[in-house]
Structure 1
Amino acid sequence: MRLNDPAAYGRGSEPEILAELLDPAGQEVLELGCGAAWMTRLLVERFGARRVVATEVDRAQLARNRALDLPAAIELREGGAQAIADPDERYAQVFMFKSLHHVPPALMACALREIHRVLVPGGALYVSEPVYWGPFAELTGLIHDERTARTAAFAALQGAVEAGYFRCEREVFYQAEGAYPDWECFAARFIDVSHRDASLPPGRRAAIRAAFERHLTPSGAHFLKPHRVDVLRKPG
């Protein structure tokens, strides 16, 4: 397993990478940290999951999700990955789309043990994580430097594999295209969000805006956002 491999990146999107690696069709699956629930919806509508239980710790985001017209096969639930409210060996697949690094580092190992517990033997854990590398990471690092959290998330995955909870089946690096038409759109997406509970230091917002606007073109600011996907398999 590798934290980063600059030579290994291809272009892609989360749905495209998922389609290459796993097949949720007909399965009951768990998504931990569903955010705005866009992948939650795709798990049902595009990938054919029979049922998706999607958890979220951000109550404001969860309320927004509950106001959406989501498929009946989706159950939204408040909760964190370190305490999954399900019996043993319930799910065929568990998904974490850019959410493991948001688990408090002291609880990451516990969260992975919980995932091991609720997976059936031979079940798969799909973990997608942003990689702290490149211009986009430098820009968003001005908002919140996640290098330590992302490194801790990778170390927790390695630790779970070394402890025998999982074996690493696949590791894929890809860069997703990100486009933001203007500063207001970028700020709404990454600064003015409900899960951020700390205000920026004085002058930081202006510095972020200046850094963002250095990337602006007539068609907006365009980035390649690096990601790593690990598919871990619970021993059968």
Structure 2
Amino acid sequence: MKLLEENISLTVDENYIIETLNLNDKRILELGCGTASMTQKIASNGFSREIIACDVDEIQYKKNLKLNIPNIKFMLCGAEDIKLKDESVDFIFMFKSFHHIPKEFMNKALDEIQRVLKPNGMAYISEPLFIGKQNKLVSFFHNEEQERIDAFEAIKASVDEEKFRLFKEFFFQTEVTYENFEDFEKKHIENRDINNNISKEMKEKIKKRYEELGEGRVNLLKPFRVDILQKW
């Protein structure tokens, strides 16, 4: 297993990757579902899919409940304390969320994932890489390098300790488009807790870095690593 890959040849929307997986007639758990955008895509494709989507944000959880989608059940819980029975799910997804778990709870989260998976069940964990122009721009004010290293090391340790078998590890990149700096600001700075800590001078520096990438509309590539773990 490796933390980073510099030369990524696969450029694709992650949803297309998900639909190559055999998810029909499966009980699926998503941890850290956020706004449930991926949850809804998984639920609406294929057939006979039961989705359980969890998040720790109570406000977002209440918003998700209002979606009222028949084959999705929303739960308020974190990966380190999954409110499900042992060996009760076939497939687990974590999209860009594992590194948000506090370091001291990462091993507990992996233990919980192992506990609720059925024998030979799979856990799909995708994580953003700390490389590339898009990352360089965002990390200027929101640096998650150590959190992503901690996440990788915890996942790798779970394989080395034979809690899981590494079924597959691969890398891909997704194209990200910003119409202008205001669009970038809306997507990455506004509605964040960090917004209150960004001074006018800092915002000007961020804007300057953005403009170094191009005037107006900018297309960037955001790289990811996927680890698919299988319960022994």
The bucket for the TM-score relative to the shorter chain is over 0.9
For residues 30 and 201 of structure 1, do their structure 2 counterparts lie closer, same or farther at Cα, with a shift above 3 Å needed? same
Determine the structure 2 residue equivalent to 1:10.
Answer: 10
Task: Give the letter for the 1:2 counterpart.
Answer: K
**1:187 and 2:178 are equivalent in the alignment:** no
Determine the structure 1 residue equivalent to 2:152.
Answer: 154
For residues 159 and 27 of structure 1, do their structure 2 counterparts lie closer, same or farther at Cα, with a shift above 3 Å needed? same
Following TM superposition, the consecutive aligned residue runs of length 4 or more in structure 1 with deviations greater than 4 angstroms are none
Determine the structure 1 residue equivalent to 2:106.
Answer: 108
CA distance in structure 2 between the partners assigned to 1:82 and 1:197 by the alignment: 25
- Cα root mean square deviation, aligned: 1.8
Give the Å deviation of 1:8: 4.1
Task: Give the letter for the 1:200 counterpart.
Answer: N
Runs of at least 5 residues in structure 2 that lack an aligned partner in the other structure: none
TM-score, length of structure 1 as denominator length: 0.91
**1:211 and 2:206 are equivalent in the alignment:** no
For residues 166 and 190 of structure 1, do their structure 2 counterparts lie closer, same or farther at Cα, with a shift above 3 Å needed? same
Task: Give the letter for the 1:158 counterpart.
Answer: K
- Equivalent positions of 1:14-53 (< 5 A) are 14-20=14-20, 22-48=21-47, 50-53=49-52
Deviations 1:174-222 (A, max 9, x none): 110001212232222222235x36732433222222222333445x221
**1:74 and 2:72 are equivalent in the alignment:** yes
58-67 vs 112-121, which deviates more? 58-67
Give the Å deviation of 1:26: 1.6
- How many aligned positions are there? 231
Q: Is the partner of 1:31 in helix, strand or coil?
A: strand
Give the Å deviation of 1:70: 5.0
Of 223, 228, 232, which aligns to 1:231?
228
207-216 vs 105-114, which deviates more? 207-216
Q: Is the partner of 2:90 in helix, strand or coil?
A: strand
Determine the structure 1 residue equivalent to 2:174.
Answer: 176
For residues 206 and 60 of structure 1, do their structure 2 counterparts lie closer, same or farther at Cα, with a shift above 3 Å needed? farther
**Same amino acid, percent of matched pairs:** 33
Give the Å deviation of 1:64: 3.2
CA distance in structure 2 between the partners assigned to 1:59 and 1:186 by the alignment: 27
Runs of at least 5 residues in structure 1 that lack an aligned partner in the other structure: none
Give the Å deviation of 1:12: 1.1
Give the Å deviation of 1:37: 1.0
Is the 1:176–1:225 contact (alpha carbons within 8 Å) kept by the matching residues of 2?
Answer: yes
TM-score, length of structure 2 as denominator length: 0.92
